[in-house]
Chains A and B, each alone.
Chain A
Amino acid sequence: MVKPKYTIAVTGLNNTDNPGPGVPVIRGLRESDTFDVRIIGLAYENLEPGIYMPNTADKIYQIPYPSAGGEAFIKKIEYIHSCEKLDCIIPNFDAELYTFMKNEKKLAQMGIKTFLPSIKQFEERHKANLPSFGKKYNINVPKSIAVTNISDLSNINDKFDFPVLVKGKFYDAYIVYNLEQLQYNFNKIASKWGVPVIIQEYIQGTEVNVVALGDGKGNTIGAVPMRKQYITDKGKAWGGITLDDEKMLEITRNLIKKTRWRGGMELEMIKTEDNKYFMIEINPRIPAWVYLANGAGQNLPEALVNLAMGINVEPYKTYKTGIMFIRYSYDLIGNISQFEKLNINGEL
């Protein structure tokens, strides 16, 4: 059988110490058994490592920030589409997802497939809405409130005991031990990601995560649980290992079934000493450690593209446990001329 060749655009090429999922997603796609790919990398900034990495993207385009508005974004995508004839786009940033979901129909009309959660699914799992989400789907969640104004922090003692976690709407989380630290980090996060900033109860335990893919009809196409073995000072996994944990899979399948989740997702949980699981975050996209799932036998980026293309995908039934990933850093050598080309032409 001849494999089809898809042109797939991918964002999140920032393979830094706070990595985006773009590069691991591309690795998954390149290893697909069912299709060949031409990869179009979409970059916001001019030093995202994925731009310069060999065997990663075939072509790079700069795109405007989500904060520039949907109109500017669509215009640029139209232009890229006219040059590349995109079959599919996989967005990988929380902050850009809203713009992609809002423009899902427009993209479809242009002939570009996506496989995204609905705005309703996206909104209800938002960090700020976690308490009501937990209630609705009967999941343990830590107590949390969304704060828009720093003056509302002064009576935080009535509601929480320190330490608490302070989190940005899209990214960033800090653990703080007193009001001064809280206010400082509130400002830090608010200036970067805007408001609301989320104040969350700190739960002691082991951090465990699941990467999963829902087909939008309630079926779990794939799911792999992982424990972070080494965590960077930014709270990111620098090493992890797949787990044999039926309870985590059950929580995942149950959630995907009830929400009819469409697309990739990452569930971040805390497993306490007494074996309770608390959901601390639900990320509406594939996480940066997704290549571990490949290693364990589930190529979720490939499955996601097939779903987007309207192809029936058989759910993965198994994965290997005890598979590890260890991130490493590596210095690429580049030349100013590449940088010039990208900055002047907006493509490379």
Chain B
Amino acid sequence: MEKLRYESPIINKVNAGMPDKFGMNVNTKPISYIDGVSVKDLLKDYGSPLFVLSEKTITETYNNSKRAFTSRYPKIQFAWSYKTNYLNAVCSLFHQLGSWAEVVSGFEYEKAIKNGIEGKHIIFNGPDKSKEDLIKASKNGSLIHIDHFDELYMLIEIADSIDETPKVAIRVNMDTGIFPQWDRFGFNYENGEAWNAINRIMISKKLNLVGLHCHIGTYMMSPSPYSVATKKLIDLALEIDHKYKHKIKYLDLGGGFASKNTLKGAYLPGTDTCPTFDDYADAITNVIINSQISPENLPTLILETGRALIDDAGYILGTVLANKRLASGRRATIIDIGVNMLFTSFWYEHEIFPAQQCSTQTEDTTIYGPLCMNIDVIRQAIQFPILQKGDNVVIKRIGAYNMTQWMQFITLRPKIILIDTESKAHIIRKNETNSVFENLEITPKYLKK
């Protein structure tokens, strides 16, 4: 006689209460395949834990966002935000799809050049650009987005010394009705600093002011602040045209589009509340089209969205190391994915799925990572089926920031796999080994045994 499928015995206390608290999220549908490739096979072949990126999802998401904007506005250019995920394979894929590069450090700038992107298609943002960085970017004709007056003056000096006219934009910060207002980057609009910077640039005649840039915040759950920001940039562009008869070639609205992840503290899940690309596109393009800018002078609209383009394409696969009971009787499950590689678990309630069929019964569970550190919590409270040691889990929607902000803490970072559109897996970053780190260290002779 064939044996029945087993599940572990569960007893759950019935909590009587009123509907006034965060509800439970019962989500037990397993994820056994990613783009047609078996999760179990991936873990067997490449080890656990394992990062997986889906080329299909990246391409679809990019095309969807491109359609949302190009169907509303004639001149659209995306620039891939390197800091979101600067794996060369990922950058190259975005460049193939038509994205320029948006970088915020000399390190990222070098990466972009190595990835074969032309200098004039690199946008250089951020408060930290060295003199050498600026000289290189000026010579390459890159778009330098000035963050503060010290940079502005340094760039005027450089322009003089190398006899080039660097192409620049200024980053503008402003009140768009959101709280907190990001005022640490760029020049403020309301207090006149931005206009002041523009005048310095125009009067110096050493720099070519080609664009205006802003980046109003991160994880913007409402598209309307983008309308406010667009309006303010356009007002600046019109004033520049009025005073200097100089046309701004592009408006760069930066990034900040949310992904469908659920932020900690949010009541409704991100899958329900995240605006679509069409919502954002509507908010931005309507303002430009309805502005005083004449149709023949419409600026190119540049978008540096990172998270919303890659978050959905990323997965991390892992394995259950142990189950235990906490002093309160609460179930805890320890997996081999820690906050060192899943940095975003500090601000998201990540969705976690079993990789194999499991019981429909769930228990309120805390999911811990494997680090010997109290902060290593992947989910504080989740209604989760009971998995056994060795079972596998899949965490969805982790493509943004984790593969750049991860930490090498007490262990080595795992492999990263890209699944191509024909369901073939490629290693795009090898796992680290002890020798990688030993090579960097020097123990003084007198301390050696």
Report if A99-B268 is in contact (Cβ < 8 Å); known contacts: A64-B26, A145-B179, A149-B180: yes
Tell yes or no: A160 within 8 A of B by CB.
Answer: no
Flag if A95 contacts B265 (CB, 8 Å).
no
Chain A residues 2-31 with CB under 8 Å of chain B are: 14, 16, 18, 20
Chain B residues 266-283 with CB under 8 Å of chain A are: 266-269, 271-273
**In the assembled complex, which residues on chain A have CB atoms less than 8 Å from the CB atom of B267?**
66-67, 95, 169-170, 193-194
A-contacting 9-mer, from B10-18, B54-62, B316-324: B10-18
Q: Which of B16, B17, B23, B222 has the most CB of A within 10 A?
A: B23
Tell yes or no: B177 within 8 A of A by CB.
Answer: yes
CB proximity of A131 to chain B, nearest CB, Å: 9
Residues 152-193 of A, flagged 1 when their CB comes within 8 A of B and 0 if not, give: 100000000000000001110000000000000000001011
Flag if B18 contacts A194 (CB, 8 Å).
no
CB proximity of A64 to chain B, nearest CB, Å: 7
Flag if B19 contacts A99 (CB, 8 Å).
no
CB proximity of B297 to chain A, nearest CB, Å: 31
Tell yes or no: B5 within 8 A of A by CB.
Answer: no
Flag if B18 contacts A98 (CB, 8 Å).
no
Flag if B269 contacts A69 (CB, 8 Å).
yes
Report if A14-B18 is in contact (Cβ < 8 Å); known contacts: A72-B26, A145-B179: yes
Flag if B271 contacts A190 (CB, 8 Å).
no
Tell yes or no: B25 within 8 A of A by CB.
Answer: yes
> How long is the Cα–Cα vector from A65 to B27 in the complex, in angstroms?
13
Nearest residue, chain B, Cβ from A196? B179
Flag if A67 contacts B22 (CB, 8 Å).
yes
Tell yes or no: A121 within 8 A of B by CB.
Answer: no
Flag if B18 contacts A48 (CB, 8 Å).
yes
CB proximity of A94 to chain B, nearest CB, Å: 10
**In the assembled complex, which residues on chain A have CB atoms less than 8 Å from the CB atom of B23?**
44, 64-68
Chain A residues 304-343 with CB under 8 Å of chain B are: 339, 343
A-B contact count (CB 8 A): 87
> How long is the Cα–Cα vector from A99 to B273 in the complex, in angstroms?
9
Flag if B26 contacts A147 (CB, 8 Å).
no
**In the assembled complex, which residues on chain A have CB atoms less than 8 Å from the CB atom of B442?**
none
Tell yes or no: B20 within 8 A of A by CB.
Answer: yes
Residues 211-243 of B, flagged 1 when their CB comes within 8 A of A and 0 if not, give: 000000000001000000000000000000000
> How long is the Cα–Cα vector from A45 to B25 in the complex, in angstroms?
14
CB proximity of A75 to chain B, nearest CB, Å: 11
Tell yes or no: B1 within 8 A of A by CB.
Answer: no
Tell yes or no: A34 within 8 A of B by CB.
Answer: no
- Which of B17, B180, B265 is close to A45, meaning CB atoms less than 8 Å apart? B17
**In the assembled complex, which residues on chain A have CB atoms less than 8 Å from the CB atom of B21?**
192
Report if A47-B16 is in contact (Cβ < 8 Å); known contacts: A67-B23, A99-B272: yes
Tell yes or no: B447 within 8 A of A by CB.
Answer: no
Flag if A67 contacts B269 (CB, 8 Å).
yes
**In the assembled complex, which residues on chain A have CB atoms less than 8 Å from the CB atom of B4?**
none
Tell yes or no: A206 within 8 A of B by CB.
Answer: no
- Which of B20, B25, B179, B272 is close to A70, meaning CB atoms less than 8 Å apart? B272
Report the contact-size class of chain B (Cβ under 8 Å from the partner).
20 to 34
Tell yes or no: A148 within 8 A of B by CB.
Answer: yes
Q: Which of A20, A45, A72 has the most CB of B within 10 A?
A: A45
- Which of B14, B22, B26, B179 is close to A148, meaning CB atoms less than 8 Å apart? B179
> How long is the Cα–Cα vector from A149 to B178 in the complex, in angstroms?
13
Flag if A66 contacts B179 (CB, 8 Å).
no
Tell yes or no: A146 within 8 A of B by CB.
Answer: yes
CB proximity of A62 to chain B, nearest CB, Å: 10
CB proximity of A193 to chain B, nearest CB, Å: 6
Flag if B272 contacts A152 (CB, 8 Å).
no
**In the assembled complex, which residues on chain A have CB atoms less than 8 Å from the CB atom of B268?**
66-67, 69, 95, 98-99
Tell yes or no: A46 within 8 A of B by CB.
Answer: yes
Tell yes or no: A93 within 8 A of B by CB.
Answer: yes
Chain A residues 64-90 with CB under 8 Å of chain B are: 64-72
Flag if A343 contacts B180 (CB, 8 Å).
no
Flag if A192 contacts B269 (CB, 8 Å).
no
CB proximity of A43 to chain B, nearest CB, Å: 8
**In the assembled complex, which residues on chain A have CB atoms less than 8 Å from the CB atom of B269?**
67-69
**In the assembled complex, which residues on chain A have CB atoms less than 8 Å from the CB atom of B25?**
67-69
Tell yes or no: A132 within 8 A of B by CB.
Answer: yes
CB proximity of A290 to chain B, nearest CB, Å: 19
Flag if B18 contacts A45 (CB, 8 Å).
yes
Tell yes or no: B436 within 8 A of A by CB.
Answer: no
**In the assembled complex, which residues on chain B have CB atoms less than 8 Å from the CB atom of A98?**
268, 272-273
Tell yes or no: B24 within 8 A of A by CB.
Answer: yes
CB proximity of B286 to chain A, nearest CB, Å: 14
Chain B residues 311-333 with CB under 8 Å of chain A are: none
Tell yes or no: A102 within 8 A of B by CB.
Answer: yes
Flag if B265 contacts A44 (CB, 8 Å).
no
Nearest residue, chain B, Cβ from A102? B272
Flag if A65 contacts B272 (CB, 8 Å).
no
**In the assembled complex, which residues on chain A have CB atoms less than 8 Å from the CB atom of B14?**
46, 339, 343
Flag if A47 contacts B18 (CB, 8 Å).
yes
Query: Closest 4 CB pairs between A and B?
Result: A65-B23, A44-B19, A194-B267, A69-B269
Q: A43-B19, A95-B267, A339-B14 are in contact. List 10 more A-B contacts (CB 8 A).
A: A14-B19, A47-B18, A66-B23, A68-B25, A69-B269, A70-B271, A72-B26, A98-B273, A169-B267, A193-B267
What are 9 A-B interface contacts by the 8 Å CB criterion?
A48-B18, A65-B24, A67-B25, A68-B269, A99-B272, A145-B179, A147-B179, A148-B265, A192-B21
